Amino acid sequence: MDKLREAFDALRSGKFVLIFDSDSREAETDMMIASEHVTFESIRTLRKEAGGLICTTVPAEVWKKLDLPFLAELFAESYAKHPVLKVLAPNDLPYDTKSAFSLTINHRRTFTGIPDADRALTISEFSKLAKGLNGLDPALAREEFGRNFRAPGHVFLLNSQPGMLDDRRGHTELASALLKMGGMFPSATICEMMGDDGKALSKDKAQDYARRYGLNYLEGAEIIEAWQSSKWSQ
């Protein structure tokens, strides 16, 4: 539990935490930060030090209120009009049964949306919007969302499952659950760590990176165990 408390303290202060899912899943390490603490410097770090796809997780109560579809489901609804989407269905993933990908967005105050400052603005403003939705009528919430954001964009949204780690155990849920257990708003910005060999960064090298830079490194199993024993899993 000490490792988790240290991770909570790090996340509350706007620092990164590394999460390895499991050897039997993707076997990848993601670098994560609380979305509410994202700055252009943190996007630069994710881009240069992690190197994978920068994504932002969305808690279930938020994506339901904003009507953010799962991309695979949106594609499925378009099979008749675009048959190619059916043959592209992600039904052969050995490590998962449901992709978390939703829409991609840009804040309307961005230009192209891809520079570090643009993505930081999109993520931080989305986090502010998401945190302020409690008690707001869904129609008004969607109107506010559309007033401030456009799609498609350059920030990839990932819809977390309603039961988080009760329903799925990907990095989306691991990072979101970690924030929730730490008393923070459960939206994380995550990025896979890549190696220089053309593959995902190995577990050993990810652990070395964490030690070198004084970052907390957690195994997915540690987060799952804490979740199952906490009030959040009830």
Catalytic residue among 21, 26, 36, 55: 55
When pLDDT is averaged across residues 157-178 and rounded to a whole number, the result is 91
Considering the candidates 30, 36, 118, 125, report the single residue annotated as catalytic.
30
Tokens of 81: 């009009």
Separation of CA 200 from chain center: 18
Residue 228 has pLDDT above 80, yes or no: yes
Task: Tell me the pLDDT tens digit for each residue of 4-36.
Answer: 999 999 999 999 999 999 888 888 999 999 999
Instruction: Point out the catalytic residue in the list 77, 95, 96, 137.
Output: 95
Catalytic pick among 49, 61, 144, 154: 154
Q: Which is catalytic among the residues 21, 26, 106, 173?
A: 106
106 is catalytic: yes
Kindly report which listed range (19-23, 105-109, 176-180) carries the lowest average pLDDT score.
Answer: 19-23
Instruction: Tell whether 22 is covered by a domain.
Output: no
Mark whether 222 is an active-site residue: no
Please report whether residue 232 resides in a domain.
no
Residue 191 falls in the annotated catalytic set: no
Q: What's the average model confidence in pLDDT over 31-51?
A: 98
Q: pTM of this prediction? A: 0.94
* Residue 24: half-sphere exposure toward Cβ, Cα within 13 Å: 3
Q: What gap in Å lies between CA 214 and CA 198, rounded to an integer?
A: 25
Alpha-helical segments (H) within 69-137: 71-76, 84-87, 116-131
Is residue 150 in a domain?
yes
Determine whether 192 is an active site residue: yes
Rounded distance between C-alpha atoms, residue 98 and residue 126, angstroms: 24
Distance of alpha carbon 152 from alpha carbon 63, whole angstroms: 16
Structural domain of 163: 30-194
Read off the CATH number of the domain in which 115 is found. 3.90.870.10
Using a pLDDT cut of 70, give the percent of the chain over it.
97
Residues 6 or more apart whose Cβ sits within 8 Å of residue 150: 105, 106, 108
Query: Over the stretch 120-166, which tens digit does the pLDDT of each residue have?
Result: 999 999 999 999 998 889 999 999 999 999 999 999 999 999 988 88
Query: Is residue 63 included in any domain, yes or no?
Result: yes
Out of 192, 209, 217, 222, pick the active-site residue: 192
pLDDT band at 96 (very low <50, low <70, confident <90, very high): confident
Over residues 64-83, the mean pLDDT reads 95
Q: Is 55 a catalytic residue?
A: yes
Counted domains in the chain? 1
Q: Report the DSSP beta bridge partners of residue 190.
A: 32, 55
Give the ranges where the chain is alpha helix by DSSP (H).
2-12, 40-45, 60-66, 71-76, 84-87, 116-131, 138-148, 171-181, 203-213, 220-228
Confidence of residue 234 (pLDDT cuts 50, 70, 90): very low
189 close to 35: Cβ distance less than 8 angstroms: yes
Q: At what angle do helices 220-228 and 2-12 cross, to 10 degrees?
A: 100
Q: Does a structural domain hold residue 169?
A: yes
Tell whether 186 is covered by a domain.
yes
Is residue 95 part of the annotated active site? The answer reads yes
| Span of 72-76, 78-82, 165-169, 214-218 with lowest mean pLDDT | 165-169
